[in-house]
């Protein structure tokens, strides 16, 4: 999908279909593969746009790791500051259960 913010639609639908999956993990996991695009574009001068995180192995290993770390550490800070929500309430949704890793992995595979 060429427009990264539209990945959130897929994340939302998955969270409604399977209530056990974490919506924050799905949202971050859907955008994690596209984190490499600006970095690679800057380093290569625009000759490459997708490499490691847009492969099956990269999405499964690095994409999931990045998504879990961002969901646990960065997501509560960003969401609480942007939407003026209590950070502790957001952190409750971003705990580190097995379903968070599953949600991040699933979303990374679906949107790479």
Q: What is the per-residue pLDDT for 68?
A: 83
All residue ranges of the chain with pLDDT < 50 are 1
Smallest Cα–Cα separation from 33: which of 44, 49, 20, 47?
49
Could you tell me which residues come within 8 angstroms of residue 35 by beta carbon, excluding any fewer than 6 positions away? 53, 66
55-78: pLDDT as tens digits: 777 777 788 888 888 888 888 999
pLDDT score, position 14: 84
Which residue range is the domain that position 97 belongs to?
4-111
The reported pLDDT for the residue numbered 69 is 87
SS3 91: helix
Query: Number of structural domains, the chain?
Result: 1
The predicted structure's pLDDT at residue 50: 67
Rounded CA-CA distance 65/58 in Å is 10
Q: What's the confidence (pLDDT) of residue 89?
A: 84
pLDDT of res. 32 = 81
């Amino acid at each position: 999908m060429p427009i990264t913010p539209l990945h959130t639609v897929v994340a939302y639908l998955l969270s409604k279909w399977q209530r056990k999956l974490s919506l924050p993990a799905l949202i971050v996991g859907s955008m994690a593969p596209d984190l490499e695009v600006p970095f690679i574009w800057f380093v290569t001068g625009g000759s490459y746009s997708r490499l490691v995180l847009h492969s099956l192995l990269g999405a499964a290993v690095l994409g999931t790791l990045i998504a879990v770390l961002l969901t646990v550490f960065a997501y509560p800070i960003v969401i609480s500051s942007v939407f003026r929500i209590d950070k502790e309430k957001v952190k409750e949704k971003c705990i580190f259960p097995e379903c968070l890793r599953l949600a991040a992995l699933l979303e990374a595979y679906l949107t790479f």
